[in-house]
Structure 1
Amino acid sequence: MSAVTARNTSAPRARIAFPRVLRSEWIKLWSVRSTWFTMGLAVFLMVAIGTIACFVFDPAGTTPAKAGTDGVSLATNGAMLAQLCLGVLGVLYSAGEYGNGMIRSSMSAVPRRTPVLRAKAVVFAAASVAVAGVTVLVTFLVGSVALKGTAFGLSLSDPGVLRTLLGTVVYLALVGVIGVAMGFLLRSVAGGVAVIAGVLFVIDSLTFILPASVADSVIPYLPGHAGRAMMALHGGGDLLSPAAGASVLTAWAVVALAAGAVRLSRSDV
């Protein structure tokens, strides 16, 4: 073996910088059509449902307004369906690599593995915050025009409005991050989507089988209810405070990511 060859084989492997992993994951996220389609669908649902809810709402109608109805809750009506879009996209973004075999290339480029999961979570959260932030703000401003002059009209300067809109954005981003984690944990698009749908919609509807004393202690800490606390302008009922709701949902996301990291580090790709 020559001296040059010996130096090459004994040289330490170059360290993969995390910013490079982030850049790679950002490119991968926006290079597939499913991202544009699903993000576009989330935007459409948010804008369409929120705008329609504001314009068709009749404060002077014969049916009394539901408790807790306000300009923010009307404008963010579409968040309930947009959250499913972002959760599903998060699953596609991570589990999709297992389906098409790209995960092998990703892990060959980043042998330590967990930086890939962290990069995907950061990239997806950033993209979700950017898209949801603009969408929520635009929808609220349009809805404010429809509700102007009524008791339900609000502006950005009103107490709690900015906090509620920000809570909606953070909630949508965290749901997407949980979807990313489920993709790594289950390695199946169908399985991840089923879990996301179940966590967001099905579990809440099954709590009626629990004793009232147990349900009252469990329901506020479910992801969907924690999210509603983040998006509520006025608390009450079984809702946590906005800060507590954000903490609970963040804990759900952290636990999901930790479980995904354990599966990723201990299992073959």
Structure 2
Amino acid sequence: MSTSTGSGTAPGTIVRRFAVHDVGLGGAIVAEWIKFRGLASNHALAGFTLFLLLANGVAMPWAYVFRDRSSPRADYDAYPEMIVDKTGYVGIILAVLAVLMVTNEYRSGQISTTLLSVPRRTSVLVAKAAIIAGIAFVIGIASSAIGFAVAPTILAGGGYGYILETPVLLRLVVGAGLYLAAISVIGVALGAIIRNVVAAVLATIVFLLIVPVIPEMFSEYGTEITRFFPIQAGSLLLAPAGTDPMGPWVGYAVLLIWTLALFVVAVITLKRRDA
């Protein structure tokens, strides 16, 4: 702080000037983390996602052990990907959580304070994305690791099992985290682009669940087109090898392209609009 009696002021008037510190990305991330922890609904949605993924990791092996042996559709061997095969769609909950992290600030008017504290708007959006992506990554890693830890025991109780090589295990466990992180960043992007809570949540669900089905309804090439949408492409990282010609990592690269493209649009939109 400094003081002066600068020109244009009445004689004897003391003017105090305070230094303005530009909050960097690190400070923005800390601020977003504090805001995230402060809302019980954030904990509830993140915890619910973890619960569903853990439940799937336990339920799928049990379902295999007690499946109807007389059904032709149940005539298949146990496979490790069953532990994470619902991750693709459960991840939508984290995408919605990410949407709310952005849109709730617009609804409450807190976004004005946020942008005043962190004038670099790109840093605000990157910080929000970093927080939700980090949380999503941990949820994916934890849920899949626990699932793979308990599944062999459950399957062994029915006399079953599967072969799981270390590279595949690493792909599925780390891949669950990577997939959920990317999907959650899409939620941040759509929230920043649309801003309205209800509209952004509905748009996220429609974009991730309904839009990919539309090409199959109206085009003979619909199935091929659908493969390149975020969930369909990204889920290949958690699917058995050979499920799709793209393969797991190319499929995830397609998801990352969607994520990056939407995030860039969100950054441009945030910069050009008033809070």
Map of 2:10 onto structure 1: none
Map of 1:4 onto structure 2: 4
User: Given that residues 193 and 266 in structure 2 are in contact (C-alpha distance below 8 angstroms), is that contact kept between their aligned partners in structure 1?
Assistant: yes
5+ residue gaps in structure 2?
Answer: 7-14
Map of 2:171 onto structure 1: 163
Paired with 1:14 and 1:67, the residues of 2 have a C-alpha distance of 65
Residue 139 of structure 2 is aligned to residue 134 of structure 1: no
Map of 1:251 onto structure 2: 257
What pairs up with 1:113-192 in 2 under 5 angstroms? 113-148=121-156, 152-155=161-164, 157-192=165-200
Residue 262 of structure 2 is aligned to residue 262 of structure 1: no
Residue 226 of structure 2 is aligned to residue 227 of structure 1: no
Paired with 1:225 and 1:69, the residues of 2 have a C-alpha distance of 23
Tell me whether 107-116 or 61-70 shows the greater mean CA deviation.
Answer: 61-70
C-alpha RMSD over aligned residues: 2.6
Paired with 1:60 and 1:91, the residues of 2 have a C-alpha distance of 41
For residues 4-58 of structure 1, the C-alpha deviation after alignment (integer angstroms, 9 at most, x for no partner) is 365965x874232211111111111111011110011101111113311211213
Supply the AA of the counterpart residue of 1:224. Answer: I
5+ residue gaps in structure 1?
Answer: none
What is the aligned counterpart of 2:202 among 185, 194, 198?
A: 194
Larger of the two Rg values belongs to structure: 2
User: Given that residues 193 and 269 in structure 2 are in contact (C-alpha distance below 8 angstroms), is that contact kept between their aligned partners in structure 1?
Assistant: yes
Paired with 1:152 and 1:204, the residues of 2 have a C-alpha distance of 34
What percent identity do the matched residue pairs reach? 26
Supply the AA of the counterpart residue of 1:233. Answer: P
Supply the AA of the counterpart residue of 1:144. Answer: P
Aligned residues: 264
Paired with 1:132 and 1:179, the residues of 2 have a C-alpha distance of 16
Map of 2:103 onto structure 1: 95
Paired with 2:77 and 2:110, the residues of 1 have a C-alpha distance of 46
User: Given that residues 42 and 81 in structure 1 are in contact (C-alpha distance below 8 angstroms), is that contact kept between their aligned partners in structure 2?
Assistant: no
For residues 57-99 of structure 1, the C-alpha deviation after alignment (integer angstroms, 9 at most, x for no partner) is 1378222456987433321244244212101101011111111
Paired with 2:223 and 2:16, the residues of 1 have a C-alpha distance of 64
User: Given that residues 220 and 240 in structure 1 are in contact (C-alpha distance below 8 angstroms), is that contact kept between their aligned partners in structure 2?
Assistant: no
Residue 33 of structure 2 is aligned to residue 26 of structure 1: yes
Structure 1 length normalisation: TM-score?
A: 0.88
User: Given that residues 39 and 86 in structure 1 are in contact (C-alpha distance below 8 angstroms), is that contact kept between their aligned partners in structure 2?
Assistant: yes
Structure 2 length normalisation: TM-score?
A: 0.86
Paired with 1:66 and 1:225, the residues of 2 have a C-alpha distance of 23
SS of aligned partner of 2:21:
coil
User: Given that residues 199 and 224 in structure 1 are in contact (C-alpha distance below 8 angstroms), is that contact kept between their aligned partners in structure 2?
Assistant: no
